[in-house]
């Protein structure tokens, strides 16, 4: 008998067991060394694991079977994303990591056959990585209609000039999708910009630096680039979708993306909660008096459990709605999960650190990596405050006559 409304289907449950085995066998044993060491130095080992994932039929779960994936729908993939979130390497090994997964979905829907063959196919096969360049240091990313990056048409080419930052995973990527203004005079601010694919070996492109995040600049996949386009010339056929459709496409890209992120965050919470409980049992204040016997610690464990459970039900419900009624019908739910789950993520990581005491802030556990790198969850994909406004406006409207 089904024990929960959102119990995974037998097909997904069987897959979860296989992914869990893979994580325990191959990923957990190396994750600390990879994330606190040199990601680049580990690339051969990581590629080996990616090949193994292919061999075991676990690669790219979000892609259709004809594209080499498992053909899972968004709702089914949500469960996998939760499990893979337990390791910072989880999504990467199975080629369903942000920002590539968003670019894959976008290109699948809107790129020309030529771009699909040249860039999407190797991306789906895990042979290359990509990034997404929209945010600019000099403009508020929360309202991205204000962009200085311009793409001017000259014959069969666009000439792109602009400065972007927080282009995640730019280091080592083969191409970016850049959001650039193509029609500055358009009266509708949402129709001024377009998405254009730029190969990163273009002489007009420059990775200025990997931006240090609380002291850690990272490298390769685990990095956020500051990048520059200077008279960067690309064929007009590198346009994705139609000219002026940049913001409409960005919305398409973000709907399912928030499910992926939220389930990944829940996976992190579950692992942090597990670490918190184990430490509370093992660490003794006096012989026979573990931390777990203290009521404050019990409160943190109970609160974390409740918050994680609420998050999980909310996100799965939203994924179900998107799956069956489309992202538009789930607009407010998508905003709700974004700000609710990102806050739960902060709460749970912080409590887990506190229970670990000094150990919690060292790089001897995963907690400090998450504390540093997941703080951004309340900022990217729309800062929490923007999502709260979207939701509140809708609620208030429902009471106005």
Ligand X SMILES: Cc1cc2nc3c(=O)[nH]c(=O)nc-3n(C[C@H](O)[C@H](O)[C@H](O)COP(=O)(O)OP(=O)(O)OC[C@H]3O[C@@H](n4cnc5c(N)ncnc54)[C@H](O)[C@@H]3O)c2cc1C
Pick the binder of ligand X from 50, 86, 91, 224 (CB under 6 A). Answer: 224
Residue 208 binds to ligand X (criterion: CB under 6 A):
no
Residue numbers 16-55 binding ligand X by CB under 6 A = none
Residue 380 binds to ligand X (criterion: CB under 6 A):
yes
**Does a cis peptide bond (omega within 30 degrees of 0) precede residue 99?**
yes
Residue numbers 151-170 binding ligand X by CB under 6 A = 166-168
Q: Assess contact for 176 and 153: CB atoms under 8 A.
A: no
| DSSP labels, 153-222 | EETTEEEEEEEEEEEET-TT-SEEEEEEES-TT-SSGGGSEEEEEEETT-TTEEEEEEPPBTTB--BTTB
What own/partner pairs with CB < 8 Å and gap ≥ 24 does 379-387 have?
380/166, 381/254, 381/257, 381/258, 381/261, 381/338, 382/142, 382/254, 382/335, 382/338, 383/142, 384/338, 384/339, 384/342, 384/343, 385/339, 386/142, 387/335, 387/336, 387/338, 387/339
For residue 26 the two structure tokens come to 């191959």
Pick the binder of ligand X from 68, 71, 122, 141 (CB under 6 A). Answer: 141
Query: How near is the Cβ of 166 to ligand X at its closest, in Å?
Result: 3
Residue 284 C-alpha from the chain's centroid: 37
Choice between 81 and 167, CB closer to ligand X: 167
Residue 386 binds to ligand X (criterion: CB under 6 A):
yes
Pick the binder of ligand X from 140, 208, 302, 392 (CB under 6 A). Answer: 140
Task: Give the count of beta carbons closer than 10 Å to the beta carbon of residue 379.
Answer: 14
Size of the site for ligand X (CB under 6 A): 19
Residue 251 binds to ligand X (criterion: CB under 6 A):
no
Residue 134 binds to ligand X (criterion: CB under 6 A):
yes
Query: How near is the Cβ of 62 to ligand X at its closest, in Å?
Result: 18
Choice between 76 and 100, CB closer to ligand X: 100
Residue numbers 113-132 binding ligand X by CB under 6 A = 132
Choice between 52 and 379, CB closer to ligand X: 379
Residue 135 binds to ligand X (criterion: CB under 6 A):
yes
Applying CB under 6 A, which residues contact ligand X?
Answer: 99, 132-135, 140-142, 166-168, 224, 376, 379-380, 383, 385-386, 389
């Amino acid at each position: 008998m089904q024990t929960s409304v959102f119990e995974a289907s037998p097909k997904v449950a069987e897959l979860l067991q296989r992914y869990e085995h893979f994580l325990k066998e191959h990923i957990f044993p190396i994750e600390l060394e990879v994330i606190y060491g040199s990601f680049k130095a580990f690339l051969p080992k990581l590629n080996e694991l990616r090949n193994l994932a292919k061999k075991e039929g676990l690669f790219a779960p979000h892609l259709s079977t004809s594209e080499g994936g498992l053909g899972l729908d968004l709702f089914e993939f949500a469960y996998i994303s939760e499990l893979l979130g337990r390791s910072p390497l989880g999504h990467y090994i199975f080629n369903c990591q942000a920002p590539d997964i968003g670019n894959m979905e976008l290109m699948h829907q809107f790129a020309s056959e030529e771009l699909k063959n040249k860039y999407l196919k190797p991306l789906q096969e895990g042979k290359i990585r990509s990034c997404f360049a929209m945010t600019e240091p000099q403009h508020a990313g929360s309202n991205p209609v204000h962009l200085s990056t311009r793409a001017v048409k000259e014959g069969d080419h666009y000439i792109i000039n602009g400065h972007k930052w927080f282009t995640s995973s730019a280091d080592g990527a083969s191409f970016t999708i850049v959001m650039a203004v193509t029609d500055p005079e358009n009266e509708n601010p949402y129709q001024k910009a377009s998405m254009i694919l730029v190969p990163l070996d273009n002489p007009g492109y420059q990775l200025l630096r990997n931006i240090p995040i609380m002291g850690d600049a990272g490298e390769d996949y685990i990095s956020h680039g500051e990048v520059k386009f200077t008279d960067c010339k690309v064929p007009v056929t590198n346009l994705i979708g139609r000219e002026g459709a940049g913001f409409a496409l960005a919305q398409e890209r973000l709907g399912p993306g928030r499910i992926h992120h939220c389930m990944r965050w829940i996976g992190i919470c579950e692992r942090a909660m597990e670490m918190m409980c184990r430490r509370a049992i093992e660490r003794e204040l006096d012989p026979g008096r573990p931390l777990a016997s203290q009521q404050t610690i019990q409160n943190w464990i109970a609160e974390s459990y409740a918050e994680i459970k609420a998050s999980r039900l909310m996100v799965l419900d939203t994924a179900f709605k998107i799956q069956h009624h489309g992202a538009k019908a789930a607009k407010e739910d998508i905003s709700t999960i974004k700000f609710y789950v990102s806050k739960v993520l902060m709460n749970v990581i912080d409590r887990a650190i506190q229970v670990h005491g000094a150990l919690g802030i060292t790089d001897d556990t995963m907690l400090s990596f998450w504390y540093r790198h997941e703080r951004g969850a309340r900022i990217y994909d729309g800062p929490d405050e923007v999502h709260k406004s979207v939701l509140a406006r809708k609620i208030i409207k429902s009471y106005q006559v």
